Amino acid sequence: MIGDQTDIKKEYLILAKEVWDQIEKKIDTKAAKLVIAIGGESGSGKTILASALKITGEERNKNAAVLHQDDYFKLPPETNHNARLQDINAVGKDEVRLDLMQEHTASFKNGVSSIIKPLVDYKKNSFIEESINFEEVEILILEGTYVLGLHQINCKIFIDRNFLQTKKNRMARNRDHQDEFVEKVLSIEHEIIKKYKGEADIIVDDQYKIYHP
């Protein structure tokens, strides 16, 4: 993602280590080509946790790469917002190229050496393409609102914070519209996303604490 700031605070690095400890208890991290997915609502900390997990994994000699769901939207951010203004019923999983994200996950699992993926530029309201080299990557981290619904995932992490709890975080990153309409959008997304909580292997609460479903 271009134009999105990721400030990894100390508490996220601590959380990432605790999450990694739990991951190692749940799955064989020595196995090749593992996929970890982080789901939750807008502003819940998915991107930051994904970055922190990547750092922590590499400290444990596991090369990692991250795929961000925001790169897989069908329309760039401002255009997508305008489409929602025209029809709020457009909000949901159909806005995202989840099929392409699933294809890229499968490519990683199948040992494909590299992929060409979209990359969103928030400031320019556009997409470009980038190449991701998987040759040395052992762990693929997926993050996004709907990624827990994808297949071929070894461990699913759900950040249990709703859109009201994340408002401060959303305002701080200063890349989203902040108005009553957006709150309606987030309430629609909330109803979709909360269903993924039951599929999670690890749940993180709003106090950076881990609990199990």
State the total domains in the chain: 1
- For the chain, first and last CA: distance in Å? 31
DSSP 12-42: HHHHHHHHHHHHHHHS-TTSSSEEEEEEE-T
| Residue 185, domain member (yes or no) | yes
The pLDDT score that the predictor gives to residue 177 is 61
The pLDDT score that the predictor gives to residue 153 is 97
Domain residues for 65?
Answer: 23-205
The pLDDT score that the predictor gives to residue 88 is 95
> Model pTM greater than 0.75?
yes
CATH of the domain at 33: 3.40.50.300
Burial group, residue 179, by CB count within 10 angstroms (0-12, 13-18, 19+):
exposed
| pLDDT tens digit at each of 213 positions of the chain | 665 556 677 888 999 999 999 999 988 888 889 999 999 998 888 999 999 999 999 999 999 999 999 999 999 999 999 999 999 999 999 999 999 999 999 999 999 999 999 999 999 999 999 999 999 999 999 999 999 999 999 999 999 987 676 665 555 555 556 678 988 998 999 999 999 999 999 999 888 889 776
The pLDDT score that the predictor gives to residue 112 is 97
| Residue 18, domain member (yes or no) | no
| Residue 131, domain member (yes or no) | yes
| Residue 16, domain member (yes or no) | no
The pLDDT score that the predictor gives to residue 5 is 54
The pLDDT score that the predictor gives to residue 114 is 98
| Residue 13, domain member (yes or no) | no
| Residue 213, domain member (yes or no) | no
| Residue 15, domain member (yes or no) | no
Cα–Cα distances in Å, from 134 out to 27, 102, 130, 163, 183?
21, 15, 13, 34, 38
